[in-house]
């Protein structure tokens, strides 16, 4: 369930502005998606100019992009733990943004994205104006253990949502995530209380991770036609 609507130039401005935050010797969480890809490319250009940085990718796709961009990579358990440096900054996209709360998972990478983004000292969201809404209402991607997709579907219906198993486009059957899970896109209509829904989903057995990112972002950079709108949260 990829979201689109913004222009390449808007996404590029947001990504490049976030990439400019990276400083020497930082460990940087590298998000997934077309907007984060602009940040990865821009960080790679700075590495070619001598920037000393390590990236922690949030997906197979991002790992490949980062390698192509020449960014040295680190595993999550190398940088988080006793005597480890931690993650200084994470840069990641979003499918919808309302008042600093996010829906992510359009690329089915939200499990690892949430781990890396929440482990970072600072998490900057990069987006285009089409992602901004007054109230979150995009279907919430829910990664589920493969055996549990009907169990979780029933729980989602009981919580007032309508689940749809995400189908692959170049494979028969469902999308399988980098971690071997399935994805339910769960339509709850307007989500007036994201924190409450997030708690309900997190408590459901069989849910590996959901795409509601509540109170995780520290700043939102929205690329526009002539600049970048920066909101600190
Ligand atoms: C992947 C994500 C992406 O960050 C989200 O889908 C936004 O992607 P894009 O920048 O291509 O619009 O959550 O799981």
44 — pLDDT class (breaks 50, 70, 90)? very high
List pLDDT tens digits, range 189-209.
Answer: 999 999 999 999 999 999 999
Q: Is the predicted pLDDT of residue 63 greater than 60, yes or no?
A: yes
Q: Which two tokens stand for residue 165?
A: 């198993």
Q: Is the predicted pLDDT of residue 220 greater than 90, yes or no?
A: yes
List pLDDT tens digits, range 123-177.
Answer: 999 999 999 999 999 999 999 999 999 999 999 999 999 999 999 999 999 999 9
Residue 5: its pLDDT value, please? 85
Q: 219 CA to middle of ligand 1, Å?
A: 16
Q: Is residue 10 within 6 Å of ligand 1 at its C-beta?
A: no
Q: 4 CA to middle of ligand 1, Å?
A: 9
Catalytic residue among 78, 113, 137, 193: 113
Burial class (CB in 10 A: 0-12, 13-18, 19+), 73: middle
* Contact criterion met (CB below 8 Å) for 173 and 149: no
Active site residue 137: no
Q: Which residue has the tokens 């997190």?
A: 202
Q: Is residue 104 within 6 Å of ligand 1 at its C-beta?
A: yes
List pLDDT tens digits, range 82-129.
Answer: 999 999 999 999 999 999 999 999 999 999 999 999 999 999 999 999
Structure pTM?
A: 0.97
Distance between CA 140 and CA 160 in Å, rounded? Answer: 12
Q: 34 CA to middle of ligand 1, Å?
A: 7
Closest CA to ligand 1's atom 5:
94
* Contact criterion met (CB below 8 Å) for 92 and 34: no
Distance between CA 88 and CA 18 in Å, rounded? Answer: 13
Q: Which atom of ligand 1 is nearest to the CA of 104?
A: 13
Mutation test residue for ligand 1: of 107, 143, 223, the one with most atoms within 8 Å of CB: 107
Distance between CA 105 and CA 83 in Å, rounded? Answer: 31
* Contact criterion met (CB below 8 Å) for 158 and 203: no
Q: Is residue 96 within 6 Å of ligand 1 at its C-beta?
A: no
Task: Kindly write down the DSSP assignment for every residue of 95-107, as one continuous string.
Answer: SEEETTEEE--TT
Residue 45: its pLDDT value, please? 98
Q: 203 CA to middle of ligand 1, Å?
A: 25
2 — pLDDT class (breaks 50, 70, 90)? low
Q: Is residue 112 within 6 Å of ligand 1 at its C-beta?
A: no
Distance between CA 174 and CA 108 in Å, rounded? Answer: 12
Q: Is residue 107 within 6 Å of ligand 1 at its C-beta?
A: yes
Q: Which atom of ligand 1 is nearest to the CA of 141?
A: 14
Pairing of strands 87-92, 120-127: parallel
Q: Which residue has the tokens 């010797």?
A: 25
Domain architecture of the chain: domains with CATH: 8-133+214-232 (3.40.50.1360), 140-211 (3.30.70.260)
According to DSSP H, which parts of 50-129 are helical?
60-69, 76-79, 110-119
Q: Is the predicted pLDDT of residue 1 greater than 80, yes or no?
A: no
Nearest-10 Cα torsion for 172, 174, 177, 183: 170
């Amino acid at each position: 369930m990829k979201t689109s609507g913004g222009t390449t130039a808007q996404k590029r401005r947001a990504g490049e502005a976030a990439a400019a935050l990276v400083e020497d010797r930082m460990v940087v969480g590298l998000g997934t998606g077309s907007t984060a890809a602009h940040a990865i490319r821009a960080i790679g250009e700075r590495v070619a100019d001598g920037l000393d940085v390590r990236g922690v990718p949030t997906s197979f796709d991002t790992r490949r992009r980062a390698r192509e961009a020449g960014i040295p990579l680190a595993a999550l358990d190398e940088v988080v733990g006793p005597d480890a440096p931690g993650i200084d900054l994470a840069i990641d996209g979003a499918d919808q943004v309302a008042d600093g709360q996010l829906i992510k998972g359009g690329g089915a990478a939200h499990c690892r994205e949430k781990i890396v983004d929440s482990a970072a000292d600072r998490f900057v969201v990069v987006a285009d104006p089409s992602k901004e809404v007054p109230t979150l209402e995009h279907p919430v991607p829910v990664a589920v253990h493969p055996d549990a997709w009907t169990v979780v579907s029933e729980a989602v219906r009981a919580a007032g949502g309508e689940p749809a198993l995400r189908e692959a486009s170049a494979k028969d059957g469902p999308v399988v995530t980098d971690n071997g899970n399935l994805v339910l896109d769960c339509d709850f209509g307007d989500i007036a209380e994201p924190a409450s829904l997030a708690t309900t989903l997190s408590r459901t057995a069989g849910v590996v991770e959901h795409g509601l990112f509540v109170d995780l972002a520290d700043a939102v950079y929205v690329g526009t036609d002539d600049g970048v709108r920066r909101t600190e949260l």
